[in-house]
């Protein structure tokens, strides 16, 4: 199978997706106070790029079940706007410096305006769906129900991610990580876009369930790959802060695995380093990375991600054969092979 099918598809739909996103933020006079302090901030952030995988996934799922992909554009963009809000707020929580190769919104505009911009984006999510003239009211309610659960589960996952660090929680298993990642990333980066696309497209219950399971597997693999890139990539490639997950003592799958398998003395050393949180030096961060490497935690995470991609692709057999289904199979591999 052509491994770049999804890359080609993204290139073909990125322009209408970007146009739709910006159209949601053009309600005020350019240069006005509202534009300068709110709409312009969000427009600039969106203009930085981003892969636009979530709207593309919704459109693909819609097409894969026999629907008109364009009808899923608004629902997919609503989820993308949720993603924008999550990134802005997460960067504040994590004290991040870079996002998409540039300074984070809160660094450029200050924390209050950044929080406010994220809040507005969250409020815009449902409005985008409700005001779409292309889908009927019953479909809108079904889409909003999915988005509501997505919002709940994402915030739950984020609470675990942040709370484990705050409270020095170390007795975690890989299953704990997978549950957290399912909430933090799985719903808005896989399950919700594919499910709403299938709903808008009028898919069967079997197809919708299959796409939901596909989204669950590949999105967790996406998060694992994201965690790996944070420690084996670099700022120039990823457009994000390098090693920030280690600096912040995040409980990534690699860290959880190492805590589970390390010899007692090394486990205690790792816990001691994690307790330092933001106060650790780059040398100490490097020591954590050395432990993760020595105990095979990076390889463990890679194998877990590969297994999830293989599992995810198996669910696509329940979806009718089509070019859109082939593109989704390509998308699964793209999630694993990406470098940013």
pLDDT of 2 strictly over 80: no
pLDDT of 195 strictly over 50: yes
pLDDT of 237 strictly over 60: no
Question: Of 205, 168, 216, which Cα lies nearest the Cα of 318?
Answer: 205
With 0.85 as the threshold, say if the pTM is over it: yes
Residues of 2-16 as b/e, b for ≥16 C-beta within 10 angstroms?
eeebbbebbeebbeb
**What pLDDT shows up at residue 100?**
87
Residue 80 CA to residue 317 CA, distance in Å, equals 27
Domain that holds residue 203: 5-337
Write the CATH number for 69.
Answer: 1.10.600.10
Cβ atoms of 59 and 172 closer than 8 Å: no
Residue 195 CA to residue 182 CA, distance in Å, equals 15
Residue 238: pLDDT band (50, 70, 90) is very low
Question: Of 209, 182, 221, 208, which Cα lies nearest the Cα of 72?
Answer: 208
**What pLDDT shows up at residue 3?**
64
For the chain, what is the domain count? 1
DSSP 8-state symbol, 183: I
pLDDT of 293 strictly over 50: yes
**What pLDDT shows up at residue 240?**
54
| Least confident segment among 27-36, 184-193, 306-315 | 27-36
Residue 204 CA to residue 100 CA, distance in Å, equals 38
Q: What is the mean pLDDT of residues 138-147?
A: 98
Count of H-run helices and E-run strands, the chain: 18, 2
**What pLDDT shows up at residue 50?**
85
Residues 6+ apart with CB under 8 A from 300: 253, 254, 257
Q: What is the mean pLDDT of residues 270-287?
A: 95
């Amino acid at each position: 199978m052509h491994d770049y099918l999804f890359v080609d598809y993204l290139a073909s739909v990125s322009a209408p997706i970007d146009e739709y996103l910006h159209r949601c933020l053009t309600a005020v006079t350019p240069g006005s106070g509202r534009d300068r302090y709110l709409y312009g901030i969000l427009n600039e952030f969106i203009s930085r790029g981003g892969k636009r995988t979530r709207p593309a996934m919704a459109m693909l799922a819609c097409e894969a079940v026999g629907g008109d992909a364009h009808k899923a554009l608004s629902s997919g963009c609503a989820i993308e706007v949720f993603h924008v809000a999550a990134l802005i707020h997460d960067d504040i929580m994590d004290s991040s410096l870079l996002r998409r190769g540039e300074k984070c919104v809160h660094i450029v505009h200050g924390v209050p305006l950044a929080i406010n911009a994220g809040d507005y984006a969250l409020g815009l999510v449902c409005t985008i769906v409700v005001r779409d003239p292309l889908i009927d009211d019953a479909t809108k309610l079904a889409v909003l129900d999915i988005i509501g659960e997505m919002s709940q589960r994402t915030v739950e996952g984020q609470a675990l991610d942040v709370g484990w660090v705050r409270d020095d929680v170390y007795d975690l298993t890989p299953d704990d990580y997978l549950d957290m990642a399912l909430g933090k990333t799985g719903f808005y980066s896989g399950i919700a876009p594919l499910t709403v696309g299938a709903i808008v497209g009028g898919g069967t219950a079997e197809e919708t369930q299959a796409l939901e399971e596909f989204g669950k597997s590949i999105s967790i693999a996406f998060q694992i790959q994201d965690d790996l890139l944070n420690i084996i990539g670099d700022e120039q490639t990823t457009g994000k802060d390098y090693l920030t997950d280690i600096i912040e003592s995040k409980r990534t799958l690699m860290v959880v695995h190492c805590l589970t398998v390390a010899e007692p003395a090394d486990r205690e050393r790792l816990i001691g380093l994690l307790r330092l949180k933001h106060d650790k030096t780059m040398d100490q961060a490097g020591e954590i990375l050395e432990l993760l490497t020595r105990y095979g935690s990076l390889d463990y995470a890679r194998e877990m991600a590969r297994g999830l991609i293989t599992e995810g692709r198996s669910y696509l057999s329940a979806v009718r054969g089509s070019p859109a289904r082939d593109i989704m199979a390509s998308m699964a591999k793209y999630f694993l092979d990406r470098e940013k």
